């Protein structure tokens, strides 16, 4: 009879431990949900502030939308050509190293 009670009490202890773990899982998931919502809110606030700052800078420059578009396009072209030049110089360097190894 003692053995049956011990087994019953042992199962109760095991189930109690599992329940505590389940409770902790639920609390952790709730925290994750709350922190995820907070993160999204902060990211949204950051984007709004960056956009407001950008608009302040653009409006302060007193340039037309067409001039702004031209500046942005020129910057994109310059960045693109710099990337191409870097890629070409790396290719030429690699080709030279390959040639040197063959000599």
List, for residues 12-56, the tens digit of each pLDDT value.
777 888 999 999 999 999 999 999 999 999 999 999 999 999 889
Same domain, 40 and 4: yes
- CA–CA distance, 77 with 69 (Å, rounded to integer): 12
Q: Is residue 55 part of a domain?
A: no
Same domain, 43 and 84: no
Whole-number mean pLDDT of the chain? 81
Residue 26: alpha-carbon gap to chain centroid: 26
Same domain, 96 and 68: yes
Asked if 68 and 58 count as a contact pair (C-beta separation under 8 A), the reply is yes
Number of folded domains that form the chain: 2
The pLDDT score that the predictor gives to residue 64 is 86
Q: Does residue 81 surpass a pLDDT of 50? A: yes
Confidence of residue 92 (pLDDT cuts 50, 70, 90): low
Expressed as residue numbers, the domain containing 81 is: 63-103
Higher pLDDT, 4 or 58: 58
Confidence of residue 59 (pLDDT cuts 50, 70, 90): confident
Q: Is residue 100 part of a domain?
A: yes
Instruction: Quickly count: other Cβ atoms within 10 Å of residue 63's Cβ.
Output: 13
Q: Is residue 57 part of a domain?
A: no
Q: Is residue 52 part of a domain?
A: no
pTM: 0.51
Residue 6, burial from CB neighbour count under 10 angstroms (0-12, 13-18, 19+): exposed
Same domain, 43 and 72: no
Same domain, 101 and 72: yes
Same domain, 39 and 78: no
């Amino acid at each position: 009879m003692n053995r049956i009670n011990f087994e019953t009490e042992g199962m109760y202890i095991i189930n109690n431990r599992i329940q505590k773990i389940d409770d902790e899982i639920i609390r952790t998931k709730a925290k994750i949900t709350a922190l995820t919502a907070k993160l999204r809110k902060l990211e949204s606030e950051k984007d709004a502030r960056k956009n407001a700052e950008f608009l302040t800078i653009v409006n302060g420059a007193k340039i037309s939308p067409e001039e702004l578009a031209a500046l942005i396009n020129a910057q994109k072209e310059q960045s693109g050509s710099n990337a191409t030049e870097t890629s070409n110089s790396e290719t030429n360097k690699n080709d030279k190293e390959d040639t040197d190894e063959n000599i």
